[in-house]
Amino acid sequence: MSINKISWKTIFQAHSGGFSSKRVFGALGMTICLGLLIASFVMARPIPDFAELVYVTSASLLGLDNVTDIFKKSINSSN
């Protein structure tokens, strides 16, 4: 797939063709954390405590999507 043909829709799609909820919520959480980081920088306040929880959860969701893809490939190749 060339870089010109990548769209937002293909970023959030799973290999099966539907949208991956783990990718959507992971990206949403990362966007929220980025917004909190920018807002705290502009207002010169510390980042809220719950931002760490949102960040770790979002990173876990994105990583979990990759792990499940690896196991799907290994199960399919063993059959």
In this structure, the number of other CB atoms found within 10 A of the CB of residue 21 comes to: 12
Question: Which is more confidently placed, 34 or 22?
Answer: 34
d(CA 66, CA 20): 11
pLDDT at 21: 81
Decide: residue 26, CB within 10 A, 0-12 exposed, 13-18 middle, 19+ buried: buried
pTM: 0.66
Question: Which is more confidently placed, 24 or 77?
Answer: 24
What does the pLDDT look like over 24-71, one tens digit per residue?
888 888 899 899 989 999 998 888 888 888 888 888 888 887 777 777
